[in-house]
Structure 1
Amino acid sequence: MEYNEALSYIHNTLKFGVKLGLNNITSLLELMGNPHKKLKFVHVAGTNGKGSTVAFISRVLMEAGYKTGMYTSPYIERFTERMKINDEEISEEELSRITQFVKEKVDIMLARGENHPTEFEIVTAIAFQYFYENDCDIVVLEVGLGGRFDSTNVIDTPLVSVITTISYDHMDRLGDTLPKIAFEKAGIIKHDGDVVLYPQTAEVEKVFQDVCLERGARLHRADFSALKPESFDISGQTFSYKSYKNLKISMLGDHQVNNAAVVLETIELLKDKGYKISENAIRKGLLNTHWPGRLEVLKRDPLFLIDGAHNIEGARALRDALNRYFPDKKKIFIIGVLRDKDYKAVIETVVPIASHFITVTPNSDRALPAAELGGFIKSYCKNVTISDTIKEAVCTSMKICSPDSMICAFGSLYYIGEVRRLLKNNM
């Protein structure tokens, strides 16, 4: 199987949709020899901040000398971004070979009359096999959707379960209240496990407390009152947390400092379990963590950022960060959204700081057309441009950007990657 054939095989399974449940993935992994049972995991669930948290933890472990697997979704530019070892993407050759191996096991499932695994189930199985074959010391595993019935939840009790922020997203599948959504995320809490929690509202925290009590798990909260921000600029920010003084991260936004506190609590638990992680590894790991598409500065002249904010919590974090870092700049927004997201709330959140919107259509069957999105925004903002292509939107933004302005492309990750490619390649 060649690389393009492997990608075609994987993507063609999209037609099998999203089926929450563990029967398919359990059956497939059994045929593969249960590679996941030979690995150790840190399992990360939540609405926002999962990817950044996974990236922080992975980098710290890598700096500490551990061979570290990292599994995330979706990707920004290349499919191979989704599975890495020590920050190196899976090679096209390895992906092709393991995909062929997994396909052979899927064919056996079908011959037995079982359901065809979904795309995410197949990708998760490929990742487990990749990490197993390469003898990873530890794998930092991001949940795809929810937690309780997510394919990644086929693993046994992880070293640590990490819960990031809980917000409204995927409400058609996870529930229409924060406690319902929290219950699905709490599904990754296993018997006798350790759980690190990003502080939440009282009603949400009670969900996690109850599940921990029921499963004999230990709940550890990050303590934001012990978090002391010290300085920030466009190159990063410095803060102290408990006994750690003057830590620096390269990522922007208050929420990333909060995520780093969650990471520090996670690292302390891993140290308690025997992992040797020095303060120097922690400092280097936090500083050297970069996560594409999250308040990422791609150009300085003109100032051009991209961000994957696609729900209300992400939009608030984006708005607050832009106000904090660039209070005197007029904000030109490029925006593309999916129809099934709460894009109205997202737009209402950023409208007060916007001077101009440029709308695009993301590359997705679920995309809201640029014209429809632009029509909606015109009831809030008089400066709206509808673009036929993403390249056209980027060019337009550059033309109208003045020295007192900045550009921020945000919304669906289904188009953010193309913006990133265009700017990295100088259009």
Structure 2
Amino acid sequence: MNYTEALGYMKKAAERGSVLGLSRITELLRRMGDPQDKVKTVHIAGTNGKGSFGAMLTSVLKSAGYTVGGFSSPAITKVTDSFRINGEEISEQDFADLIGGIAPICESMDEKPTEFEVLTVAAFQLFADRGCDMALVECGMGGDLDSTNVIKAPVLSVITNVQKDHSAFLGDTIAEIASHKCGIIKAGRPVYFGGNSEEAYEIAADTAKKLGCELFIPDYSQFSWSEDNCTIEGAELTYKGQELHIPLLGTYQFENAVNVLSCVEILRREGIDIPETAVRDGLANVKWHGRFEVISREPLIIYDGAHNPDGIRCAADSIRRCFGVKKVVLLIGVMADKEYGLYADMLGELTETAFAVKPDNPRALDSKALAQALNARGMKTAPYDDYTSGVRAAYDYVKQHDLPLIALGSLYMYQQFTDALKDIMI
């Protein structure tokens, strides 16, 4: 099977829709020899921060000499972006080979697996084939019924935080959402909770107690960090007296780093050797895209995949810390199921003007509807039916007025934005 054929098969799987339940993926994995049981795994759930957490911890473990697999979603560029070995995206042929081995088994099943189930199985098979020492596996959504929740005994279960998102599937309250995410906690295995919701913490603590798990939370007394040190060059923090540099931008990366460093201590307790030099070097060399990422410096253009109210709040805080009183220009596109009406309240005072576009996704909100909602709350916003035209208008504006451009609203928009920008800047 070649890459085009593999994509064709995934399109066929996508037509089956999203069907809850773990019976199909469990059966598919059984027929493949249960590759998910052959690699030590850190299982990661949470509303925000999963990708940055995984990138940082991967870099630390790689620096410690381990071969580390990574599975994340959604894919930011193309499907291969969801699969990584030591932080590097797999090749198109690697992906084709994985799907070529899985597809015939899927087709032999009475109840065919869904697209995400096939992708999840491909990740587990990849990690087993490559002999990974550790795999970092993100939940796609929620936890208990997520396709990744077939890991029987993770080295560590991580819940980065719990905020309101995917309410149509996970519930309207923090308690309901936390209950789903805490479904990844497994009997007798350690669990880390890094969020700041007392309600979500209580559910995590109750679940851990029932399952006989030791629950860990961050000890902020071990950390110090100055928001003045958050610039477009990254951030500095001190952990147990050791000064550390993180090249990832955004004030929220401090919280992600706290979670990673806390989990490093837990992994050490579990027998994973991680020297201090690996922690320092791993954080200093971490790479991750789509999270307050500098795309261009002349003019200054940043992309942030903030896609829910908590993410937008963090993006607004990062804009404020990096640019002070200087206004920015926004290019924004969102999914229709997000609480986008709130975005103007958080971003309006920071924004000179905004350009609304529609991401290339079936769930995307029309640019006119987005602009109407933002204008109604006082944020000057112009809609563009044609995506590239919207990017060009925003680019021309920042060039003319010497202002930073911040593109945000959805990770699904990253590839579309960078492609359009590349054509404009040629």
TM superposition shift of 1:382? 6.0
Q: Which residue of 2 aligns with 1:284?
A: 281
Report the residue type matching 1:176 in the other structure.
D
TM superposition shift of 1:234? 1.3
Which whole-Å CA distance do the structure 2 matches of 1:105 and 1:34 have between them?
13
Q: Which residue of 1 aligns with 2:135?
A: 139
Q: Is the 8 A contact 1:236 1:252 kept in 2?
A: yes
TM superposition shift of 1:423? 3.6
For 2:149, which of 145, 150, 153 is the aligned residue?
153
TM superposition shift of 1:244? 4.5
1:280-310 alpha-carbon deviations (Å, 9 max, x no partner): 1111111111210100111122211111111
DSSP 3-state at the match of 1:205: helix
Report the residue type matching 2:250 in the other structure.
G
Matches within 5 A, 1:226-265: 226-230=222-226, 231-241=229-239, 243-265=240-262
DSSP 3-state at the match of 1:309: coil
Change (3 A) 1:382 1:106: closer
| Runs of 4+ that moved beyond 6 A | none
Which whole-Å CA distance do the structure 2 matches of 1:422 and 1:280 have between them?
40
Report the residue type matching 1:133 in the other structure.
D
Q: Which residue of 2 aligns with 1:318?
A: 315
1:233-265 alpha-carbon deviations (Å, 9 max, x no partner): 211111112x25211101122211111111011
Report the residue type matching 2:218 in the other structure.
A
For 1:413, which of 396, 411, 414 is the aligned residue?
411
Report the residue type matching 1:171 in the other structure.
S
Gaps of 5+ in 1: none
Bigger CA drift: 136-145 or 410-419?
A: 410-419
TM superposition shift of 1:404? 4.7
Which whole-Å CA distance do the structure 2 matches of 1:321 and 1:366 have between them?
27
TM superposition shift of 1:205? 0.8
TM superposition shift of 1:403? 5.0
TM superposition shift of 1:424? 5.0
Bigger CA drift: 258-267 or 244-253?
A: 244-253
Change (3 A) 1:361 1:199: closer
Which whole-Å CA distance do the structure 1 matches of 2:120 and 2:324 have between them?
42
Q: Is the 8 A contact 1:298 1:423 kept in 2?
A: no
Report the residue type matching 1:101 in the other structure.
G
Q: Which residue of 2 aligns with 1:224?
A: 220
DSSP 3-state at the match of 2:225: strand
Q: Is the 8 A contact 1:356 1:381 kept in 2?
A: no
Matches within 5 A, 1:188-199: 188-199=184-195
Q: Is the 8 A contact 1:328 1:404 kept in 2?
A: no
Change (3 A) 1:246 1:77: same
Q: Is the 8 A contact 2:392 2:421 kept in 1?
A: no
DSSP 3-state at the match of 1:405: coil
Q: Which residue of 2 aligns with 1:269?
A: 266
Report the residue type matching 1:190 in the other structure.
K
Bigger CA drift: 314-323 or 215-224?
A: 215-224
Q: Is the 8 A contact 1:293 1:417 kept in 2?
A: no
Matches within 5 A, 1:56-75: 56-75=56-75
1:77 aligns with 2:74: no
Aligned-pair RMSD on alpha carbons? 1.5
Q: Which residue of 2 aligns with 1:5?
A: 5
Identity across aligned pairs (percent)? Answer: 38
Q: Is the 8 A contact 1:77 1:421 kept in 2?
A: no
TM superposition shift of 1:315? 0.5
Q: Which residue of 2 aligns with 1:130?
A: 126
Q: Is the 8 A contact 1:298 1:424 kept in 2?
A: no
Bigger CA drift: 46-55 or 230-239?
A: 230-239
Which whole-Å CA distance do the structure 1 matches of 2:105 and 2:205 have between them?
39
1:311-360 alpha-carbon deviations (Å, 9 max, x no partner): 00000000011001101321111111111111112333212222211011
Gaps of 5+ in 2: none
Q: Is the 8 A contact 2:234 2:245 kept in 1?
A: yes
Report the residue type matching 1:281 in the other structure.
A
1:197-223 alpha-carbon deviations (Å, 9 max, x no partner): 114222111000000000001111012
For 2:203, which of 196, 207, 221 is the aligned residue?
207
Report the residue type matching 1:344 in the other structure.
G
Q: Which residue of 2 aligns with 1:353?
A: 350
Q: Is the 8 A contact 1:312 1:346 kept in 2?
A: yes
TM superposition shift of 1:381? 3.4
Change (3 A) 1:244 1:68: farther
Bigger CA drift: 265-274 or 64-73?
A: 265-274
Matches within 5 A, 1:380-399: 380-381=377-378, 383-399=380-396
DSSP 3-state at the match of 2:149: helix
Which whole-Å CA distance do the structure 2 matches of 1:390 and 1:381 have between them?
23
Which whole-Å CA distance do the structure 2 matches of 1:43 and 1:278 have between them?
22
Which whole-Å CA distance do the structure 2 matches of 1:2 and 1:234 have between them?
40
Report the residue type matching 2:165 in the other structure.
D
Bigger CA drift: 397-406 or 180-189?
A: 397-406
DSSP 3-state at the match of 2:81: helix
For 2:337, which of 329, 340, 346 is the aligned residue?
340
TM superposition shift of 1:388? 2.6
Which whole-Å CA distance do the structure 1 matches of 2:301 and 2:130 have between them?
38
1:372 aligns with 2:369: yes
Q: Is the 8 A contact 2:250 2:291 kept in 1?
A: no
Report the residue type matching 1:167 in the other structure.
Q
For 1:362, which of 359, 362, 365 is the aligned residue?
359
1:46 aligns with 2:46: yes
Q: Which residue of 1 aligns with 2:183?
A: 187
Q: Is the 8 A contact 1:249 1:286 kept in 2?
A: yes
TM-score (norm 2): 0.96
Which whole-Å CA distance do the structure 1 matches of 2:382 and 2:287 have between them?
32
Which whole-Å CA distance do the structure 2 matches of 1:52 and 1:93 have between them?
26
